[in-house]
Structure 1
Amino acid sequence: MNIFPVRRKLLSFLTSLSTLWLLLGVGCQYVPPHVFWPAGFIAMSTPGALLMNGVLLLLWLWLWHRPVWALWPALLIFLFWGQHTRYFNFSSSEASLASEEEQITILSYNVRVFNVYQHLHEADPGLPEREMKWVAEHPAEILCLQEFYNEKGDKTYDSRKRVGKQQGREIYVGKALTNSAGAEFGLAIFSKFPIVKKGTVSFDRPTKNQVIFVDVKLPSKDTLRVYNMHLESMAIEEKDVEAAVQSEAGLKTKGRNIARRLKGGFIARSHQVNKLLDHIQESRHPVLLCGDLNDLPSSYTYQQLRRHLKNGFEEGGNGFGFTYNGKLPIRIDNQFFSDRLELLQFDVLDQIRFTDHFPIESTYVLNASSAESEE
């Protein structure tokens, strides 16, 4: 019996299925989850469709010596190459004629409240001090810190003083919470350049997550607007994901809760990113947006930002660029920037393991040809 026709029919069916899946996944990246929440789940599955299409390409080439059968999955890879580079990329550092004085180095880092809680440093009591020292002494001109914590007068946790004043940096803190002891929680931007304006992007909804911004005056006399964001959390524990995939009982008990939390996050972030983009589009300065997106590169949130700004990893990253320091291989921390900035280097510092996020360090230069004229 000739099994080739059977194989061909099966692969044809799977190719049609993966094509439909890919088109749906990409299409749902443009659908606001607050309008149609299932779109968030479909968009999230896009990497599965990309992987399936790649496997089918290899199977077509392997099972038949006539490569014409592989043309369709190869065409899909070509047409949706931008989807692939959101997850895996190869780039080289850009050579620039800009002097060191013209270059701007940015560090974006979710510092996890500098591990102040005992359960975060119980196994390593020196962890908070090492993390604070590393952040304070980092040479970047601008630091964007998420899950920021400051405790005035404390030897370890007086971060306004240690990261700011002692290092010659100006600071703007967006406080999400001040506890009974006066300690501050929220977002912070530290800058060695003068801060000439600062503020918060209002989401018009009760939330501890927020976006803050500063306008800094560069040595060139141009102004750069820097946003620091921490959008609605996924609020999912790794142990719940593990329980959901290990057994049917776990899937029933934990899976439903995970889905509910994902749905709420999709909806909240779709509102937040629209508010953020409205604010960004009103800026007359070049824009740099850093922070914890709490969403995947195949999401509506990411797609909306990518439609208006370039992404640091896609422009200059290497490898998978995972930014979550845990068992889940995901990239949720990002830097986006406007056309008026040129990216020279982008690095995920995955050797720095103080928190459940890896820092992102990038170097930019403001193109002289597109620099704004200041009044």
Structure 2
Amino acid sequence: MAGSNNQKSKKSSFFRILIVFLTFVFGLSLILSYLASFISPDKIWIVAFFGISYPFLLLINLLFFLYWLLLRKLYFIIPLLIILIGWIHLRSLIGVHKSMKKVDTTQLIKVISYNVRNFDLYNYKKGWELNFEKRNKIFDLIKKESANIICFQEFCYDATGKFSTLDTLIKFQKAIYFQTEYTNDPKSVNKFGVATFSKYPIIHKGKIIFTPKTNNVCIFSDVIINKDTVRIYNVHFESIKLSKEDIDLAEDLSHINKPEGNKVELKEKSVRLLKRLKNAFIKRAPQARLVANSIDKCKYPIILCGDFNDTPTSYVYHLVSSRLIDSFVESGRGFGQTYIGLLPTFRIDYIFYSNEFKSLAFQTIHNNLSDHYPIISDIKKK
């Protein structure tokens, strides 16, 4: 009888030691996720993986906090303090603002940022008819919102006119001022890149080329708003370039436990996915430095839209937004996720602005017209 009690006591002691150990391990992991904002992935890439894991590490630490609190053990202080240290990251994850009251809309600058995935040009599941259907629904959305400034990433233009995008947008949106930059072969019939449409006159256009071989780019348009010059940045940072197999692996991990699952093949696919993430982390760092350098030199008020392909705990986000304000943090609600595909809790699309502005409202439109949700911000000059 005594031996049985001793055995139970040893198991209980081992379990408690294990939980204490895990509390410290995941607490340290959460701290490393905070450091991801300050450490460039092209210097130490491993930290970026902690940064992208922030929402999950936060949840685990919250569970440890509740566990120790229920047991009335002082260990609850460890996860609590670590969570509070990262308060600024928590604010960028969850918006807590109320709905905007009715205001004078005459002075508002309505901004849309939207990665349209080439208007679904390459979705052949139902043939070309589906492509036109998705494209037209995106057009209807843009027309309904009637924004002053629209920034598209993964914008496509068909030079043959069979899959019209540019001309149609100019016509019904009445955004006669626009800037496009295509990153693929200029001789190609289908062109892909970014596009900015404005109801305000564009007096100057510029671009930031990352590298000659990348499909990503940043453009900026100087527009006149109420006699003031405002610079509009539209950026698309390095994509992860996931294949269909990568997405299937990430989104449907349940097949791992199936007897027919090939564990060797699964391991190879997992390693390939991690390599893609690593390479994208590394490539985005110098791209972000180029954009941040341009922002530092800019003498005008700024509005920046973009698909960063990175989260608010990333080096890219921290670097680019150091002089800017995140519209979601200022006026958003909920989790604000903008990506529908791999790990759909991620917010990787943003609208920023400089101190001359304030955001009165932020909205994420949940639809399935792309693998990104469009985001909208109502901005006003202070």
Q: Please indicate the TM-score interval, normalised by the length of the shorter structure.
A: 0.7 to 0.9
Kept after mapping to 2: 8 A contact 1:86/1:314? yes
Q: Distance in 2 between matches of 1:205 and 1:301?
A: 20
Instruction: Kindly provide the amino acid, as one letter, of the partner of residue 18 in structure 1.
Output: F
Q: CA deviation at 1:83?
A: 1.8
| Aligned twin of 2:113 | 108
Q: How does 1:179-198 map to 2 (within 5 A)?
A: 180=187, 182-198=189-205
Q: CA deviation at 1:40?
A: 1.9
Q: CA deviation at 1:31?
A: 1.0
TM-score normalised to structure 1 length: 0.87
Q: CA deviation at 1:295?
A: 1.2
Match of 1:154 among 142, 161, 178: 161
Match of 1:311 among 312, 323, 326: 326
| Aligned twin of 2:260 | none
Q: Distance in 2 between matches of 1:243 and 1:178?
A: 35
Task: Name the % identity.
Answer: 32
Q: CA deviation at 1:309?
A: 1.8
Q: Distance in 1 between matches of 2:206 and 2:381?
A: 23
Q: CA deviation at 1:317?
A: 1.7
Q: Distance in 2 between matches of 1:192 and 1:35?
A: 42
Q: Relative to 1, partners in 2 of residues 1:261 and 1:94: Cα closer, same or farther, differing over 3 Å?
A: same
Q: CA deviation at 1:153?
A: 6.2
| Aligned twin of 1:235 | 241
Match of 1:22 among 25, 30, 34: 30
Q: CA deviation at 1:154?
A: 2.6
User: Secondary structure at the residue paired with 2:343?
Assistant: coil
Q: Is 1:45 the equivalent of 2:61?
A: no
User: Secondary structure at the residue paired with 1:100?
Assistant: coil
User: Secondary structure at the residue paired with 2:184?
Assistant: strand
Q: Distance in 2 between matches of 1:317 and 1:232?
A: 26
Instruction: Kindly provide the amino acid, as one letter, of the partner of residue 154 in structure 1.
Output: G
Question: Unaligned regions of 5+ residues in structure 2, if any?
Answer: 257-262
| Aligned twin of 1:371 | none
Kept after mapping to 2: 8 A contact 1:30/1:300? yes
Q: Distance in 2 between matches of 1:261 and 1:118?
A: 23
| Aligned twin of 2:302 | 287
Q: Distance in 2 between matches of 1:118 and 1:302?
A: 30
Q: Distance in 1 between matches of 2:288 and 2:254?
A: 31
TM-score normalised to structure 2 length: 0.86
Kept after mapping to 2: 8 A contact 1:137/1:167? no
Q: CA deviation at 1:70?
A: 2.6
| Aligned twin of 2:90 | 84
Deviations 1:24-55 (A, max 9, x none): 22123211111122222232233333222111
Shifted more, 304-313 versus 4-13: the winner is 4-13
Give the length in aligned residue pairs: 361
Q: Distance in 1 between matches of 2:339 and 2:53?
A: 19
Shifted more, 277-286 versus 121-130: the winner is 121-130
| Aligned twin of 2:178 | 171
Q: Relative to 1, partners in 2 of residues 1:120 and 1:189: Cα closer, same or farther, differing over 3 Å?
A: farther
User: Secondary structure at the residue paired with 1:108?
Assistant: strand
Q: CA deviation at 1:244?
A: 6.0
User: Secondary structure at the residue paired with 2:64?
Assistant: helix
| Aligned twin of 1:138 | 145
| Aligned twin of 2:259 | none
Instruction: Kindly provide the amino acid, as one letter, of the partner of residue 183 in structure 2.
Output: A
Q: Distance in 1 between matches of 2:170 and 2:336?
A: 29
Q: CA deviation at 1:208?
A: 1.3
| Aligned twin of 2:287 | 272
Q: Is 1:54 the equivalent of 2:58?
A: no
Q: Is 1:336 the equivalent of 2:352?
A: yes
Shifted more, 297-306 versus 274-283: the winner is 297-306
Instruction: Kindly provide the amino acid, as one letter, of the partner of residue 229 in structure 2.
Output: T
Q: Distance in 2 between matches of 1:265 and 1:290?
A: 20
Q: CA deviation at 1:341?
A: 1.2
Q: Distance in 2 between matches of 1:74 and 1:41?
A: 22
Kept after mapping to 2: 8 A contact 1:244/1:254? no
Shifted more, 36-45 versus 352-361: the winner is 36-45
Q: CA deviation at 1:19?
A: 2.4
Deviations 1:291-335 (A, max 9, x none): 111112222112222333221222222111111123522221111
